[in-house]
Chain A
Amino acid sequence: MSEETSTADLRAQMPGAWARFRKSYLLYSFKRDPVAQLCLLIFIIITIAAFGAPWWAPTDPYDLTGIDIMNSELPPMWLDGGDAAFPLGTDAQGRDLLSTILYGTRVSLLIGFGAVAMQCVLGILFGLLAGYFGGIIDATLMRLADIQLSFSTLMVAILVGAIVKASFGNLMFGQVALILLILIIGIAEWPQIARTVRASVLAERSKEYVDAARVMGFRAPRIMFRHLLPNTLSPIFVIATVQIANAIISEAALSFLGLGMPETQPSLGSLIKSGFDYIQSGAWWITLIPGAVLVVLVLVINLLGDWLRDVMNPRLHKG
């Protein structure tokens, strides 16, 4: 660092976001936590494998012309009767299970992230409004949240899914299923985020920097999104991570009940369901392999969420 600094040098010396991240407790604790490292590694591998599926999946399970029914229920290649062309075997329709799992994981992840993005948008907006304005707005939004939470996600999804399915028919339902699932899971679970945001906003808004912003004449949206929101982000991160895992499980459960993704574009849940009918006839791999992928994916996300919660809770800092 030079002794004499002009304004331009000053800008250059200011610690950027990356430099701050490099010095942060987040990275420090990540480097010292092998479980978190392993989880992140597995999560990244699964994500890349799933989203890059069109490039490296052996076959395209959405392409019905590439499927031969004669290949159905082939076991994985290391078992008797296995075929090297289908490393994890095939499902009841003759689709390559590895490709189907890759595509299915992509669908599951899309729904998980999409639903949580939706929850965050609704939850942050309503939580900020309720916490910042208080009074009647708070009471209305929070009672709405209570009502929303008193229906379980599955119940809402079954209701909406059944109505849409009945009114649009199966074919149409298949086209909108992904978006519909994101909407259902997103809307059903927003109160989780909204309550967390509201609680932190209530704690933050009594601090004097909020008064200082009001004295400056800043309007409510600016105070909410630029002053309060950055100070409520850490609990949102933690909740959102856990909610991704929850959303993936909800989707799997819905698909298992037949109200999720259709057979033609299976998610992990609908794959498990489609194999369930054949588990008694010996074709266990159709259910168990996607099930194992689902368990690993959810476990890894939950462990990452746990780690984040420990890191971002200053009361748990050691030393």
Chain B
Amino acid sequence: MIPSEITQPTDQATTSPRHDPSTLLSIRGLRKRFNLSGNWLEQLHFSKGRLTRRQEYVHAINGVDLDVARGEALCVVGESGCGKSTVARTVMGLISPSEGEIHFDGTRIDQLSAHALLPWRRRMQMIFQNPYASLNPRMTINRILEEPITFHNPSLNRGDVQDKVQEVMSSVGIDPEWGGRFAHEFSGGQRQRISIARALAVDPEFIVADEPISALDVSIQAQVLNLMRDAQQARGLTYLFITHDLAVVEHFATRVAVMYLGTLCELAPRDTLFSTPRHPYTQALLSAIPRLSDGHPTPIRLTGEVPTPVNLPSGCVFHGRCPYATARCREDIPALKTYGDARVACHALEEGRL
């Protein structure tokens, strides 16, 4: 695995990143708002004798800068609703960003038309969370796997396509003889293997995995994880791995990005993050992992709730629950700053209060 590289801090979202050949994917100033207000008729409100138009947004991602280096497995962690899946889906073009840029291998891809995006589609693939919904129930496994191959390689003849299908099926540990069966005839773990096979069928370089093992039985999780790691080594894949399971992160990641309420709080190599978590949220998160060994500090108890992403807090999004918050934290949004090999967005750390 290529050691991850820390890129230059780019604090202005507008500048196009200088293309670094070791960077496969770079996200700059990504924001995504979802409109909650419905159609224009539902937006009209009558208050104090005046008719006003009111629009409300869920701020799912609020300015995320992220670089994924070639060959690494970048894990994005965070609690439910912190925007990690939205990042994954925006990167794959399933939803379009409200602001910001996504560059894949030096090319900006977030503004391309569906047709222009096609060559990039086969270089980046996605594995989904729910193996029970991610395979078409009316298609046999063979058809599910054949379709992307023939679509992206129209020149292949039937025999070549069959060979390719058999190859990817064996590579994920599914007997090619089962290709005539339907998805409902397989277990959850087998289905997730088939989903992986579908992603691998077009020979991608980059795979976005959106909580690929959280719907699986614990005994199957390790199998699927190891399969993904083997595929990474055999094919030189790069992963953007969305998860909320810190044990998976410890096993799988080369670097970890911690998200809270749509912002990135900390980005660090795995070992650095687990040995010296710097951001107060990361510290609280890691202290919550149950350990068998004695003498481990008791979990840091955060007070209050995660604020609603509809009305974002001013300043640092974490200030309401942070034990170190000051007046500055309530006003200024902290930027990612480099500390050793980690990058952390925290005023307290910058001022040396932590």
Known contacts A208-B130, A212-B126, A219-B114; A15 and B136 CB within 8 A of each other: no
- Residues of B77-135 whose CB lies within 8 A of A: 89, 92-94, 114, 117-118, 121-122, 125-126, 128-130, 133-135
Residue contact B180 to A215, C-beta cutoff 8 Å: no
Can you show 11 pairs from A to B with CB atoms below 8 A apart? Answer: A208-B134, A209-B136, A211-B126, A211-B134, A215-B92, A216-B202, A217-B118, A217-B122, A217-B152, A230-B138, A231-B138
Residue contact B134 to A216, C-beta cutoff 8 Å: no
Residue contact B151 to A218, C-beta cutoff 8 Å: yes
- Residues of A5-35 whose CB lies within 8 A of B: 5, 7, 10, 13-15
Say whether A227 faces chain B, with CB atoms less than 8 Å apart.
yes
> A13–B128 Cα gap in the complex (Å)?
31
> A129–B179 Cα gap in the complex (Å)?
32
What distance in Å separates the Cβ of A144 from its nearest Cβ neighbour in chain B?
17
What distance in Å separates the Cβ of A200 from its nearest Cβ neighbour in chain B?
12
Residue contact A231 to B130, C-beta cutoff 8 Å: no
Interface membership of chain A positions 233-276, coded 1 if the CB is closer than 8 angstroms to chain B and 0 otherwise: 00000000000000000000000000000000000000000000
Residue contact A211 to B180, C-beta cutoff 8 Å: no
- Residues of B144-161 whose CB lies within 8 A of A: 147-148, 151-152
Inter-chain contacts of B129 with A (CB < 8 A): 208
Say whether B243 faces chain A, with CB atoms less than 8 Å apart.
no
> A208–B89 Cα gap in the complex (Å)?
12
Interface membership of chain B positions 161-193, coded 1 if the CB is closer than 8 angstroms to chain A and 0 otherwise: 010001000000000110110000000000000
Say whether A318 faces chain B, with CB atoms less than 8 Å apart.
no
What distance in Å separates the Cβ of A152 from its nearest Cβ neighbour in chain B?
29
What distance in Å separates the Cβ of B181 from its nearest Cβ neighbour in chain A?
8
Report the nearest B residue to A222, measured CB to CB.
B151
- Residues of B28-71 whose CB lies within 8 A of A: 39
Residue contact A211 to B118, C-beta cutoff 8 Å: no
> A266–B67 Cα gap in the complex (Å)?
75
Say whether A315 faces chain B, with CB atoms less than 8 Å apart.
no
> A215–B118 Cα gap in the complex (Å)?
10
Residue contact B136 to A227, C-beta cutoff 8 Å: yes
Say whether A143 faces chain B, with CB atoms less than 8 Å apart.
no
> A10–B125 Cα gap in the complex (Å)?
29
What distance in Å separates the Cβ of B127 from its nearest Cβ neighbour in chain A?
9
> A217–B136 Cα gap in the complex (Å)?
16
Residue contact A209 to B177, C-beta cutoff 8 Å: no
> A152–B197 Cα gap in the complex (Å)?
52
Report the nearest B residue to A229, measured CB to CB.
B138
Say whether B270 faces chain A, with CB atoms less than 8 Å apart.
no
> A10–B93 Cα gap in the complex (Å)?
38
Say whether B195 faces chain A, with CB atoms less than 8 Å apart.
yes
Residue contact A217 to B151, C-beta cutoff 8 Å: yes
> A290–B39 Cα gap in the complex (Å)?
53
Residue contact B152 to A211, C-beta cutoff 8 Å: no
Known contacts A209-B134, A209-B136, A211-B94; A217 and B121 CB within 8 A of each other: yes
Known contacts A5-B177, A217-B117, A219-B114; A231 and B136 CB within 8 A of each other: yes
Inter-chain contacts of A15 with B (CB < 8 A): 180
Inter-chain contacts of B148 with A (CB < 8 A): 216
What distance in Å separates the Cβ of A75 from its nearest Cβ neighbour in chain B?
55
> A139–B147 Cα gap in the complex (Å)?
32
Residue contact A207 to B117, C-beta cutoff 8 Å: no
Residue contact A212 to B198, C-beta cutoff 8 Å: yes
Inter-chain contacts of A139 with B (CB < 8 A): 39
Residue contact B195 to A10, C-beta cutoff 8 Å: no
Inter-chain contacts of A215 with B (CB < 8 A): 92-94, 121, 125-126
- A contacts with B, residue count (CB < 8 A): 22
**Further contacts, 5 of them, CB under 8 A, given A208-B128, A208-B130, A215-B92:** A10-B179, A14-B179, A212-B135, A216-B151, A217-B121
What distance in Å separates the Cβ of A30 from its nearest Cβ neighbour in chain B?
21
What distance in Å separates the Cβ of A115 from its nearest Cβ neighbour in chain B?
27
Say whether B315 faces chain A, with CB atoms less than 8 Å apart.
no
Residue contact A13 to B138, C-beta cutoff 8 Å: no
> A219–B130 Cα gap in the complex (Å)?
23
Report the nearest B residue to A220, measured CB to CB.
B114
> A208–B128 Cα gap in the complex (Å)?
7
Residue contact A212 to B138, C-beta cutoff 8 Å: no
Say whether B299 faces chain A, with CB atoms less than 8 Å apart.
no
> A139–B180 Cα gap in the complex (Å)?
40
Inter-chain contacts of A14 with B (CB < 8 A): 140, 142, 179-180
Residue contact B162 to A7, C-beta cutoff 8 Å: yes
Say whether B137 faces chain A, with CB atoms less than 8 Å apart.
yes
> A210–B126 Cα gap in the complex (Å)?
12
> A217–B121 Cα gap in the complex (Å)?
6
Report the nearest A residue to B208, measured CB to CB.
A215
Interface membership of chain A positions 189-218, coded 1 if the CB is closer than 8 angstroms to chain B and 0 otherwise: 000000000000000000111011111111
> A14–B142 Cα gap in the complex (Å)?
10
Inter-chain contacts of B135 with A (CB < 8 A): 209, 212
Report the nearest B residue to A227, measured CB to CB.
B136
Report the nearest A residue to B122, measured CB to CB.
A217
4 tightest A-B CB contacts, nearest first: A14-B180, A217-B121, A208-B134, A230-B138
What distance in Å separates the Cβ of A205 from its nearest Cβ neighbour in chain B?
11
What distance in Å separates the Cβ of B196 from its nearest Cβ neighbour in chain A?
12
Residue contact B121 to A209, C-beta cutoff 8 Å: no
What distance in Å separates the Cβ of A26 from its nearest Cβ neighbour in chain B?
14
What distance in Å separates the Cβ of A210 from its nearest Cβ neighbour in chain B?
9
Residue contact A207 to B152, C-beta cutoff 8 Å: no
What distance in Å separates the Cβ of B190 from its nearest Cβ neighbour in chain A?
16
> A302–B133 Cα gap in the complex (Å)?
34
What distance in Å separates the Cβ of A224 from its nearest Cβ neighbour in chain B?
13
Inter-chain contacts of B151 with A (CB < 8 A): 216-218
What distance in Å separates the Cβ of B215 from its nearest Cβ neighbour in chain A?
10
Residue contact B177 to A10, C-beta cutoff 8 Å: yes
What distance in Å separates the Cβ of B193 from its nearest Cβ neighbour in chain A?
14
Report the nearest A residue to B195, measured CB to CB.
A212
Inter-chain contacts of A213 with B (CB < 8 A): 136
What distance in Å separates the Cβ of A3 from its nearest Cβ neighbour in chain B?
12
Report the nearest B residue to A13, measured CB to CB.
B180
Residue contact A208 to B180, C-beta cutoff 8 Å: no
